[in-house]
Structure formats: structure tokens, C-alpha cells
């Protein structure tokens, strides 16, 4: 694109490039104070991003006011109406008039180092009032009447008496009517309503002693009763009752930071990270550091594309965390982020080591559904339905089999084998130990399949019971005291081999390959400094580096497990990772990935027939190995079926 010659001045600047008559020529730009309404609208663009953001701010105010009952009503996905009613401490006329003014709050005074409330900026109400029609009605405990204040597009009216119950009712109508451009970026009413629901659920998990009710013309009513101090019961209300059955409690601390909450067993996972909840001093956050730590803790036990379920609460001195780094207060900054990350990863892994190898109840439920899907035939049409007396519900009536006409014999059975002589010969064989004793006659192997029956052994005292059979030369069926367990022998042995390789990584210096000619890698001086700080840790992993001048490092040895490796790319990746996270775990992750691959190829293969002693030895080793409930790829290694579930399949319960 060519410009006219006259637009280029003597200073070689294209003077007329951006001159589009928006700014009159020769006008002097002077600094001036913006109107209060415009200031609030600018703030609203950051704080009030969508109806869910406004709802979050209003709920936080209600919680800070000491409410134990909060009701939220919406219409049009929150764009037409958001009404939040609470039974908190309430406000008088003077407080109401100040509450709708910018930077007026009762929650902090002079410092940001001691914040114990959810809100503290004093921006939410004036920001909402500048872009919507806001009405606040409130009455303090003991006052004879309440007061009401209104803000319409940034214009506030004086407080006036109004009838009200104790607490506060905040009503927001026509959100963003004063800034129509923002409305164009809103999603559908259903999507906005769903975002509000997620906000309420996060708040409900953080504060189980508060009763929440979410209703409106754009949704079905969601009522979340108070559970007092029973946090797990509240989590079950939000995440479903199956979470309570598959949760592991977390309770750990390091220095002045404490961590509590519940995480799901590795085989209990979801398709996205929406079921991961984090709270810092009671504040719901979506911090990248915390979410990354959760992923890291489940790194070797979660299938690709799946996410663990976790609810974590971090408590620490408010002076050690900055909650004022994000307009919506969704992110926080820790004074010592590596301490927090290490605490989360260590606590979760310790909990998984303690009891994370148990099978999730969802696996048994899926097995039951698979059995039941084809278990019963539809009754003939003439059988119809029958009603149980007093129940009022129709029940399917199935025809009973006809009574036997004579005593059962193999020759008269409708399921009789085709070759009775082979059966009788097989039954009359002497009982011997081992697999060979239970082989069917070779003449009619198509009639009686070869069985991998295991002689009777006791299941008492063993969590995974005693092996009873091997099915399709891949699945071990074991009997426990309360049911049965089905084990995938390849997946289970893969985990055992992998854990032994990991233990070798932790206890010994890995074998390395000495380079014939050291490779010199040029790096920024600060990257070289960071690498040398972690030089000892890298050396234990088989990567020997040393300083080679101010802006370079020399690689003398590389991990033998990696084979032929691009040392330059490896070192640069490590330097980038250390710069971002101050940790050199990338190399360890690469080595653990290779260990997982070696374990997969080195474990017992599917299709291999195991002896009874081998099957039981595998079960005992699984019981003693942490994380044995999943393989290296995150798939479950076994499924447990309770005796009550089996009885339910046969209609015994």
C-alpha cells in the first residue's frame, strides 16, 4: 500500500497514516476527570463480565453479611432479572446510600494484607448500578422498618423507607441496558442460566451451613439444604451421591499452609475439569497453579482426556496470598507457589497411596447395567401388567417356568450336553492339582471348554480375595469375603512393573550414556544459572551438565533410558520449564513415560494362562502396591462386585 508523498514529514514519520478525522486537527488533548457514571461503567466492564459475575458478587455480599439462607431468582438467563434475597445483618439508610457509591465498603480499612471476607473493593454494587436498573431493599435486625435505594443507569436516588424483612433483597433488572454493545456478546439464555447455576454450586460447596435456593422462569428450581459442618454431605448434593462413595479425604499441612478436602479415586473421573473445585481461605477460585497440581498428582493414574474429581480447600495467613490480582477475584497469587503446589501434589499422592487403589463403585454399576440389559425377555402381551395392592404402581409380571414333571437328569435336561459319554468320563476322572487335571477330553473340546478352575483357597483376610478362575486367559476371577473381584491381569501387572521402575528412579542414579564429544548449548545467562541450580537433581536422572562460559552449558551425559536424544532440545525445554515453574520435573516426566512404556511391553500379556499360584501372587502384590487400582494409562485394573449386587441380579434382594 502506497502513501502520498506529502503525508511523509521530514522526521520520516507517516503523519497521515492514522488520520481518519476522529481527532480534529490542531486540537490540544488535555487530561480531564471522567464522569462518575463513566468510571463505574468502565469498572463494570472488568468486574461484571456476564450475569453470572453479577450473581457471584451479590452472593458474596450476602455471605459476608452472615446470611444462613440465600435465595436467587433469575429470568432471561439473568439478563432480565437477578434477585438475591438473604437473611443477613442488613443495612440502614446511611449504609444503603454509601453502598452504591464507588469504593465504599465495610470489609477493609487501610491494608490488603488481612482480608477475611469475600468482597473488599466496594466496586460491585456501583458497577452493576451503572449498567442496569438496581434496587436494594434492606432492614437491620431490631429496626422498625427497612429502607430502599435505587440506581438506574448510574443515577442513584436517595434512600427511602420501605417494608422489608430482616436481611437484604438486591434486584437487578435489564442488565447492560446502559451499554448495549455488551449485550451483543452475551450467550444464549440457557448458557447464561447454566453459568449462574455453576456459581451457586461453587458457593454452596464452600459454605455447607448455608441453604441455597435457585429458581426462576428460565430454570427448574434447585434447592440445596444446609448440611451444617458436614462438608462431604454438601459435596454429595452437588457432585452426586456416587462421589461420597468414591471420595478419599485429604488433610495435610506444610509450614503455615493447611490443605483439606476430598478427591476421587483414580477410576472415578469425568470428561472435563468442571468437577474440580478449589477454595483459598473459603474463596472459590479457578487458579491455574492449583488445577495444574491436581493434574500432576493424577498424572500416571488418569486416562488421556479424562479429569479427576476433587474438592480442595487451602487455608493460610491472608498476608501470604494476594487475592487482588484478578478483576473477578478468580485467580490468586501465593507468596510461595512451589510450597502450595508441592503440598497439593504430595497430599493427593499420599492419599492415593493410602487407599486410592480401590475400585470405584461406578465400575460395578456399569457391570450391573451390562448384565441387566439383556437378562430378561419381555413377557408375552397377554401377561400385561399387575398392580401390587396399595402401591399404585404397575409392576411387570413374568411367567414362571413350568414345574418339573420328574426328577432332573442329564439325559432329560433341555440344556443337556451333546455328548453325555464325554461328560461322564470327565466327571469320573480323579481330582488332581494344577490346570492339567481340569482339562476337558480332547475328543469333544468343543462341547466342554477347557476350564482354568483354581482349587479351593481361603479368601479371608485378603482385600482382593483368592483366585478362583481365569476367564478368556486374561481376566482373573477372585472370591472375596463380601463378593467377587474381576482383575485384568495385563493391566494389573503393568502397574506393578511400572511402580518397580519408578522406585528405581527414586532410589538410584539412573544409568547414563557418556557422549564422545560433549555438546555445547548456547543459552541466555539467566537460563544457565537456573539449570545449574538444579544440576544435582538432573545428574541423578542421568543428565550431566556443567557450565561452559557465561552463556552456555556443556552436556556430557544423557539418560541411557532415553536412547538417542536431542540434547539441545531437551536442555532448552528444561530451561523453559524451570523459568516458569522453578522445577525440573520435565525430565523426570519423560523418564517416567518411558518407564510406563517399558512396563506395558514387559508385563504379562493378555492370552497367557496363569497357574493358581501366579494368580494369587499377582493379587497379593496388587494389595501391597500403591495405585494398583489403575494401570499406567488410567484404566481400571479390577472391578469389584458386592454379594448384594449379585443377589440383586438374581432377584434375591
Q: 244-356 has which fold?
A: Ribosomal Protein S5; domain 2 (3.30.230)
| pLDDT at 28 (0 to 100) | 65
Look up residue 613 and give its three cell numbers.
Answer: 499360584
Q: Give the burial class of 144: count Cβ atoms within 10 A of its Cβ; 0-12 exposed, 13-18 middle, 19 or more buried.
A: exposed
Task: Tell me, rounded to whole angstroms, the distance of Cα 212 from its chain centroid.
Answer: 23
| pLDDT at 248 (0 to 100) | 92
CATH of 434-653, one of 3.40.50.740, 3.30.1540.20, 3.90.1150.10, 3.30.390.50: 3.30.1540.20
- Tell me which residue of 235, 207, 221, 234 sits closest to 68, measured CA to CA: 207
CATH of 37-222, one of 3.40.1190.20, 3.30.465.10, 3.30.565.10, 3.40.50.10800: 3.30.565.10
DSSP class per residue in 261-314: EEEE-TTSEESSGGGEEEEETTEEE--HHHHHHHHHHTTTTS-TT-EE-EEEEE
| pLDDT at 168 (0 to 100) | 94
| pLDDT at 458 (0 to 100) | 64
For the four alpha carbons of 526, 532, 537 and 541, in that order, the dihedral sign comes to positive
Torsion from C-alpha of 573, 576, 580, 584, nearest 10 degrees: 50
Q: How many CB atoms lie within 10 A of CB 375?
A: 11
pLDDT digits over 36-80, tens only?
Answer: 777 766 666 567 888 998 999 999 999 998 999 999 999 999 999
> Is 64:119 a contact under the CB 8 Å cutoff?
yes
Contacts for 271 with CB less than 8 Å, ≥ 6 apart: 305, 306, 307
How far, in Å, CA of 177 to CA of 151, rounded?
Answer: 13
| pLDDT at 79 (0 to 100) | 92
| pLDDT at 417 (0 to 100) | 44
Average pLDDT, consecutive stretches of 10 residues, N- to C-terminus, the chain (653 residues): 44 45 61 72 70 92 92 94 94 89 69 68 81 92 90 88 93 88 84 93 94 93 93 92 90 92 88 89 88 86 84 91 73 88 92 74 66 46 38 40 48 46 48 36 34 53 85 88 87 80 73 90 90 84 88 89 79 80 65 60 68 87 82 80 80 69
| pLDDT at 574 (0 to 100) | 82
- Tell me which residue of 399, 394, 370 sits closest to 383, measured CA to CA: 399
Strand 155-156 relative to strand 146-152, pairing: antiparallel
The runs of H, that is alpha helices, within 31-84 are 36-47, 51-64
| pLDDT at 433 (0 to 100) | 39
Each domain of the chain, given as residue ranges in start order, spans 37-222, 244-356, 434-653
Look up residue 525 and give its three cell numbers.
Answer: 545467562
- Tell me which residue of 382, 596, 622 sits closest to 487, measured CA to CA: 622
What three-state secondary structure class fits 613?
Answer: helix
* Whether pTM exceeds 0.75: no
Amino acid at each position: 500500500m502506497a502513501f502520498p508523498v506529502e503525508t511523509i514529514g521530514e522526521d520520516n514519520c507517516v503523519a497521515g497514516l492514522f488520520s481518519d478525522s476522529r481527532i480534529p486537527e490542531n486540537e490540544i488533548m488535555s487530561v480531564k476527570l471522567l464522569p462518575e457514571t463513566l468510571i463505574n461503567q468502565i469498572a463494570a466492564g472488568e468486574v461484571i463480565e456476564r450475569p453470572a459475575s453479577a450473581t457471584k458478587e451479590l452472593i458474596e455480599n450476602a455471605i459476608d453479611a452472615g446470611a444462613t439462607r440465600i435465595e436467587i431468582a433469575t429470568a432471561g438467563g439473568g439478563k432480565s432479572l437477578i434477585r438475591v434475597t438473604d437473611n443477613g445483618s442488613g443495612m440502614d439508610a446511611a449504609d444503603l446510600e454509601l453502598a452504591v457509591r464507588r469504593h465504599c465498603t465495610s470489609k477493609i480499612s487501610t491494608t490488603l494484607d488481612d482480608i477475611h471476607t469475600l468482597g473488599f473493593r466496594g466496586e460491585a454494587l456501583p458497577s452493576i448500578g451503572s449498567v442496569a436498573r438496581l434496587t436494594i431493599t434492606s432492614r437491620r435486625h431490631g429496626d422498625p422498618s427497612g429502607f430502599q435505594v435505587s440506581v438506574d443507569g448510574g443515577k442513584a436516588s436517595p434512600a427511602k423507607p420501605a417494608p422489608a424483612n430482616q436481611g437484604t433483597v438486591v434486584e437487578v433488572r435489564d442488565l447492560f441496558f446502559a451499554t448495549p454493545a455488551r449485550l451483543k456478546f452475551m450467550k444464549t439464555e440457557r448458557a447464561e442460566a447454566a453459568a449462574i447455576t455453576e456459581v451457586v454450586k461453587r458457593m454452596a460447596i464452600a459454605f455447607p451451613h448455608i441453604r441455597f435456593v435457585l429458581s426462576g422462569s428460565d430454570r427448574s428450581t434447585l434447592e440445596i439444604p444446609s448440611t451444617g459442618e458436614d462438608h462431604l454431605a454438601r459435596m454429595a448434593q452437588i457432585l452426586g451421591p456416587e462421589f461420597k462413595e468414591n471420595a478419599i479425604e485429604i488433610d495435610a499441612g506444610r509450614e503455615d499452609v493447611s490443605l483439606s478436602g476430598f478427591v476421587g479415586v483414580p477410576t472415578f473421573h469425568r470428561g472435563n475439569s468442571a468437577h474440580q473445585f478449589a477454595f483459598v481461605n473459603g474463596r472459590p477460585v479457578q487458579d491455574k497453579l492449583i488445577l495444574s497440581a491436581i493434574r500432576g498428582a493424577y498424572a500416571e493414574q488418569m486416562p488421556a482426556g479424562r479429569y479427576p474429581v476433587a474438592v480442595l480447600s487451602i487455608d493460610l495467613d491472608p498476608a501470604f496470598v494476594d487475592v487482588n490480582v484478578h478483576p473477578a477475584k478468580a485467580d490468586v497469587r501465593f507468596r510461595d507457589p512451589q510450597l502450595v503446589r508441592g503440598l497439593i501434589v504430595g497430599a493427593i499422592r499420599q492419599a492415593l497411596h493410602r487407599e486410592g487403589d480401590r475400585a470405584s463403585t461406578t465400575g460395578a454399576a456399569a457391570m450391573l447395567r451390562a448384565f441387566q440389559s439383556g437378562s430378561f425377555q419381555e413377557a408375552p402381551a397377554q401377561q400385561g401388567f399387575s398392580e401390587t395392592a396399595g402401591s399404585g404402581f404397575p409392576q411387570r409380571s413374568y411367567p414362571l417356568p413350568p414345574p418339573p414333571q420328574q426328577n432332573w437328569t442329564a439325559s432329560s435336561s433341555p440344556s443337556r450336553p451333546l455328548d453325555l459319554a464325554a461328560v461322564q468320563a470327565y466327571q469320573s476322572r480323579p481330582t488332581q492339582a494344577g490346570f492339567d487335571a481340569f482339562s476337558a477330553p480332547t475328543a469333544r473340546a468343543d462341547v466342554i471348554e477347557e476350564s482354568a478352575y483354581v482349587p479351593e483357597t481361603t479368601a479371608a483376610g485378603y482385600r482382593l480375595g483368592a483366585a478362583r478362575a481365569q476367564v478368556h486367559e486374561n481376566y482373573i476371577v477372585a472370591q472375596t469375603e463380601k463378593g467377587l473381584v474381576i482383575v485384568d491381569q495385563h493391566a494389573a501387572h503393568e502397574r506393578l512393573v511400572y511402580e518397580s521402575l519408578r522406585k528405581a528412579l527414586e532410589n538410584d542414579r539412573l544409568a547414563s550414556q557418556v557422549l564422545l564429544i560433549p555438546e555445547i548449548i548456547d543459552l541466555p545467562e539467566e537460563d544457565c544459572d537456573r539449570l545449574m541450580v538444579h544440576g544435582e537433581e538432573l545428574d541423578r536422572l542421568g543428565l550431566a551438565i556443567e557450565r561452559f562460559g557465561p552463556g552456555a552449558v556443556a552436556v556430557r551425559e544423557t539418560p541411557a533410558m532415553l536412547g538417542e536424544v536431542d540434547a539441545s532440545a531437551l536442555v532448552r525445554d528444561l530451561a523453559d520449564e524451570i523459568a516458569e515453574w522453578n522445577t525440573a520435573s520435565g525430565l523426570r516426566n519423560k523418564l517416567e513415560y518411558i518407564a510406563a512404556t517399558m512396563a506395558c511391553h514387559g508385563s504379562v500379556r493378555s492370552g497367557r494362562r496363569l497357574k493358581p499360584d501366579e494368580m494369587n501372587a499377582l493379587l497379593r502384590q496388587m494389595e501391597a502396591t500403591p495405585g494398583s487400582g489403575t494401570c499406567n494409562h488410567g484404566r481400571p485394573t479390577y472391578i469389584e462386585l458386592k454379594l448384594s449386587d449379585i443377589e440383586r441380579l438374581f432377584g434375591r434382594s
